[in-house]
């Protein structure tokens, strides 16, 4: 099973967390911090 969540931080940064589990429990957790930049033409 995989589950993901996105949480907003102060400013334009975001955090993304992905958790992977099997029947025995947690297998791994991935954490990313990213920023979205909108550019207008």
Kindly report, residue by residue over 4-41, the tens digit of the pLDDT: 566 665 666 678 888 899 999 989 999 888 777 788 87
Q: What are the beta bridge partners of residue 31?
A: 17
Beta carbons of 17 and 9 less than 8 angstroms apart: no
> Does residue 12 belong to any structural domain of this protein?
yes
In a domain, 17, yes or no: yes
In a domain, 31, yes or no: yes
Task: Name the DSSP class of 10.
Answer: S
Full residue range of the structural domain in which residue 17 is found: 2-35
Q: Please answer whether residues 12 and 36 qualify as being in contact, where contact means their C-beta atoms are separated by less than 8 angstroms.
A: yes
Residue 41 lies in a domain: no
pTM (two decimals)? 0.52
Element (H, E) at 30: strand 25-35
User: How far is 28 from 17, CA to CA, in rounded Å?
Assistant: 11
Residue 23: inside a domain: yes
Which DSSP state fits 9?
Answer: -
Q: What is the pLDDT of residue 2?
A: 56
Domain count of the fold of the chain:
1
């Amino acid at each position: 099973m995989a589950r993901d969540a996105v949480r907003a931080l102060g400013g334009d940064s975001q955090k993304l967390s992905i958790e992977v589990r099997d029947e025995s429990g947690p297998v791994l957790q991935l954490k990313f911090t990213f920023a979205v930049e909108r550019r207008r033409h």
